[in-house]
Structure 1
């Protein structure tokens, strides 16, 4: 990674703050929640939320989590938008778990960990199967159907 120097770094941070604010505003408007309602649920002041949405303030991870709860969206989505977390590989299952308002953040993390461990296990099994198939049949006398020439002769008689 190339270090960012001088004003380039400041500009990128400023752009990220504007982006997260615009994203929060779009989510709030899409959910048909007023600025006052969201501020109340998130436990922050109206002016502070307004400043976040306009890109004038950079919210902390804690404030983002409170806003996410108020919008009933994943805190992880806001963290990724804010540059706090790296984006994850998308999956309908992970998206559904992240969006479920009835699960706590801890429950979401546990389900995500279990799901990803199953996926890693399946990838490992698939790799092993491909690897063994590439080496060919272990018995040189077995044809593709798993029948030896001797067996085939016995069956046809």
Structure 2
């Protein structure tokens, strides 16, 4: 079931990226060059076969002149749900925008944060049942 959800998210992101690229009148090769990734890798992202890192999403957003946050939401990195928004933005966005962290550290922090939220949601569900 998790694979299906990831595939759906990747597909939604890929379709959106392809649409934005087409509207920007950029070829796959041109966008890949601007972002600094290979053509096959970008093609796999657009087809929903690969899930890009937050860094690649930031570069894609910059090249396409669109919101990085919108890409994070479509990629499933940031929840569109407002229930976990902190003052000044979401925890996820703060982690993703911290230039002092490596990509691996960012992903680890996001995974831990998501597990805490999930655990608290489960505890809340049990207490209301």
Instruction: For 1:82 and 1:69, locate their aligned partners in 2 and report how far apart those are by CA, in whole Å.
Output: 16
Runs of 4 or more off by more than 3 Å in structure 1?
none
Taking only aligned residues, the RMSD between alpha carbons, in angstroms, comes to: 1.7
Instruction: For 1:64 and 1:71, locate their aligned partners in 2 and report how far apart those are by CA, in whole Å.
Output: 10
Distance 1:45 1:15, change over 3 A: same
For residue 88 of structure 1, report the CA deviation from its aligned partner: 6.9
Out of 56, 65, 84, which is 2:49 matched to?
56
For residue 33 of structure 1, report the CA deviation from its aligned partner: 1.0
Q: Does 1:79 align with 2:72?
A: yes
Pairs within 5 Å for 1:10-21 = 10-21=3-14
Post-superposition Cα deviations, 1:46-84, rounded to whole Å, max 9, x if no partner, equal: 111011101111111111111111101111110011111
Name the SS for the 1:12 alignment partner.
Answer: helix
Instruction: With a CA cutoff of 8 Å and minimum separation of 6, indicate the structure with the bigger relative contact order.
Output: 2
- Which structure: larger Rg? 1
Instruction: For 1:50 and 1:10, locate their aligned partners in 2 and report how far apart those are by CA, in whole Å.
Output: 20
Q: Which runs of 5+ in 2 are unaligned?
A: 83-96, 99-129
For residue 87 of structure 1, report the CA deviation from its aligned partner: 2.2
For residue 31 of structure 1, report the CA deviation from its aligned partner: 1.1
Paired residues in the alignment total: 84
Instruction: For 2:10 and 2:79, locate their aligned partners in 1 and report how far apart those are by CA, in whole Å.
Output: 16
Instruction: For 1:20 and 1:70, locate their aligned partners in 2 and report how far apart those are by CA, in whole Å.
Output: 16
